[in-house]
Amino acid sequence: MMEATAYGLDGKTAIVTGAGSGIGRGICVEMAKVGADVVAVDMNTTGAQETAVMVREVGRKALVIEADVTKADAADVILKSALGTFEGVDILVNNVGGLGPKPKRVRALELDLEGWEFLMRLNLTSQFLCCKAFIQYAVDNGRKGSIVNIASLAAMVPYETSVVYAAAKAGVVSITQTLAWEYGQNGIRVNAIAPGHVKTPIPMSLYKGKEDLLEAQNRIIPLRRWGDPDEIGRLAVFLASDASSYVTGQTVVASGGMTYFRTSVV
C-alpha cells in the first residue's frame, strides 16, 4: 500500500506560470496545501499577488514574478529570480495559454499569419522555452524534477474555429512525450493535463447572461458540469509528486468524461 506521504510536496518549490487566476491559481493553492512553496508567474501581478496570499494562508512561502513567458529570455529570468529566494526548484507547471486577451472565433480562411504565430507562441513556444530552461537547470545541477504542461482536450478533439489553438495544444502533447523520452534518464519526468471545460474567468465571462447555453454545454458532459480549477490543481499535484513516480510522457484528460465538442451551442 502506497504511503500517503508520496502524494505530498513537502520541501519542494514549484514554478507555476499563468498563476494569477483560474487553473494556474488552483494549481498553486493545491500544491501549497500539500507542502510546496510557490513561484507565481504572471503578467497580471495583481492576480498573482492574490494567489500568493492564498498560498501563504495555507502556511507556505510564495514569490510573485511578473513575466511574459512568450519572450525568449523570460524563462531564464524567472529561474534566476526563483533561485534568489529558494534553494532550488523542483517542479515546473506550464499553464500559460489560451486565445489571448481578446478571444474571438476565427475560421481557418479568416486567419492571418500574425494571428497564427501569436497563438502558437502563447500556447506552444512559451511552454517549450520554459521546459528548456528548467531542464537545463536540472541537468546542470544534477537535480531530478517534474514538469506538468497544460494542454487541452482540443489537442485530441477538433472543433470549429480552433485550428491554431488545437494545433498548438497538440504540440504541447508532442513535446511532453519527446522531452520525457530525452530526459527521463536524468530523472526528469514530463507529463501533461488536457482539461475540458473548466470554470475559469475568460470562458465563464463568455457565458454571462447565456445560462441556457451553459446548461446545454453541461448536458454533453457525462458528469453534467464544468470542472473547477482546484480539481485540475489536484491532478497536477499527483503528476508532480512521488505518487506518480513511474509516470512520464503521458497526457491525462480531465474533461468530466466529455470526448467531443459541440460548438453549435456556444
- Each residue of 79-93: pLDDT tens digit? 999 999 999 999 999
Q: What is the pLDDT of residues 137-149, one digit of tens each?
A: 999 999 999 999 9
| H-assigned helices in the chain | 22-33, 45-57, 74-85, 113-120, 126-140, 163-183, 201-206, 211-219, 229-240
Lowest mean pLDDT among 23-37, 160-174, 197-211: 197-211
* Residue 121, burial from CB neighbour count under 10 angstroms (0-12, 13-18, 19+): middle
Question: Do residues 39 and 91 touch, judged by C-beta distance below 8 A?
Answer: no
Q: Which residue has the cell 513511474?
A: 246
Does the pLDDT of residue 167 top 90, yes or no?
A: yes
Task: From residue 165, give the alpha-carbon distance in Å to each of 20, 40, 99.
Answer: 21, 24, 7
Give the pLDDT score at 106.
79
Per residue in 156-166, pLDDT tens? 987 777 899 99
Domain boundaries, the chain: 7-265
- pTM here? 0.93
Assess whether pLDDT exceeds 90 at residue 2: no
7-265: what fold? Rossmann fold (3.40.50)
pLDDT in the model for residue 218: 85
Task: Indicate which residues carry an active-site annotation.
Answer: 165
> Mean pLDDT, to the nearest integer, of 127-137?
98
pLDDT number for residue 158: 75
Lowest mean pLDDT among 53-57, 146-150, 196-200: 196-200
